[in-house]
Amino acid sequence: EAFLMATFCPTDGHLNPFLMTDAYYQAAKRLGVRFHFFENVLEIKSENNKIKKVVTDKNEYETDVVVNAAGGFAREIGLMAGIEIPVYSEKHEILVTEPIARIQGPMVMSFSKNIYCQQVPHGSFLIGRGDPTVPHDHDITSSWRFLDLMAKTVTEILPKIGELRVIRQWAGSYNMSPDKQPIISEAPELEGFYMACGFSGHGFMFAPMTGLLLSEIILKRKPSLDVSNYHLHRFKTNKAYETEKSVV
Ligand SMILES: Cc1cc2nc3c(=O)[nH]c(=O)nc-3n(C[C@H](O)[C@H](O)[C@H](O)COP(=O)(O)OP(=O)(O)OC[C@H]3O[C@@H](n4cnc5c(N)ncnc54)[C@H](O)[C@@H]3O)c2cc1C
């Protein structure tokens, strides 16, 4: 009764982000990539508008290429390089229920009801909503307000799921851009500085293509897709840009 109509996309899929991130990590290591964990980038140094060095709390690295893929902290990393990136961070909360036998097929999402809800393979439901009242900052604490509002929506439109116990709730940052589309580009004013940020809540599913496109941009090859709409400079022109509406 809560729904008037719905669309179904048979080619949609889902992936476990922990497993996928680990798979990329293992594959990158096999290809010779070196990882430096628990190391904070503090400064990015340039000379004559070219990237020169990254300074961390543990080391200094001479380099001529830096990729700003700092998620919720992309704006701060940009400022270290003297590049103004018009993105901000916004808390989004989510919860997981106890597992039950499969009752739901595809993920259910409603923009008007402010909910996405998916039963994952082992039977738990992942349920989240956005909160237009949260400030633009780095807060990722969990709130009673989220639990309260989420429970109200679920019991109204998915009453069976409303009977389940909540196992855990957590929060993370969406890195939001003005048009809610990613920024995948070089910074023309600073040679060697590249950006993959502003994913506005969609960065996981865009990750494989983003990696490919950015590697092509860095290697000065023709990108597999036209990425001109994702250039940082779109926000500096007077041209109207299209805002992505499907963000919960
Ligand atoms: C609740 C929730 C649900 C979501 N659901 C989906 C979904 O269903 N589908 C989807 O596609 N996306 C989803 N997203 C969005 C997705 O998680 C992000 O877009 C994606 O993780 C961004 O990846 P990233 O690699 O750009 O940034 P991150 O994964 O945030 O990685 C950035 C890294 O940079 C590091 N870093 C930052 N500053 C520094 C510094 N100074 N020095 C060193 N390291 C630094 C951080 O520690 C972090 O490891 C969701 C997000 C949230 C919060």
pLDDT of 239 over the 90 cut:
no
Residue pLDDT, tens place only, 53-104: 999 999 999 999 999 999 999 999 999 999 999 999 999 999 999 999 999 9
pLDDT of 240 over the 80 cut:
no
Report the alpha-carbon distance of residue 89 to residue 78 in Å, rounded. 14
Which tokens go with 170? 């957590």
Grade residue 241 by pLDDT with cuts at 50, 70 and 90: confident
205 CB less than 6 Å from ligand 1? yes
For a ligand 1 pocket test, name from 43, 202, 230 the mutation site with the most ligand atoms within 8 angstroms of its C-beta.
202
Whether residue 176 contacts residue 89, with contact meaning beta carbons closer than 8 Å, is answered with: yes
Q: Which fold has domain 90-176?
A: D-Amino Acid Oxidase; Chain A, domain 2 (3.30.9)
Q: Could you check whether 41-87+179-235 and 90-176 share the same CATH topology?
A: no
CATH code reported for the domain at 41-87+179-235:
3.50.50.60
Q: Which atom of ligand 1 is nearest to the CA of 203?
A: 19
Q: How far is the first Cα of the chain from the last one, in angstroms, to the nearest whole number?
A: 22
**Residue having the nearest C-alpha atom to atom 52 of ligand 1:** 172
What value of ipTM does the predicted structure carry? 0.98
pLDDT for res 69: 98
pLDDT for res 74: 98
99 CB less than 6 Å from ligand 1? no
41 CB less than 6 Å from ligand 1? yes
pLDDT for res 84: 97
Domain ranges, ordered by start, for the chain: 41-87+179-235, 90-176
Task: Please tell me the distance between residue 137's alpha carbon and the centre of ligand 1 in angstroms.
Answer: 14
Report the alpha-carbon distance of residue 15 to residue 7 in Å, rounded. 21
What percent of the chain shows pLDDT beyond 90? 90
- Tell me if residue 151 falls in helix, strand or coil: helix
pLDDT for res 200: 97
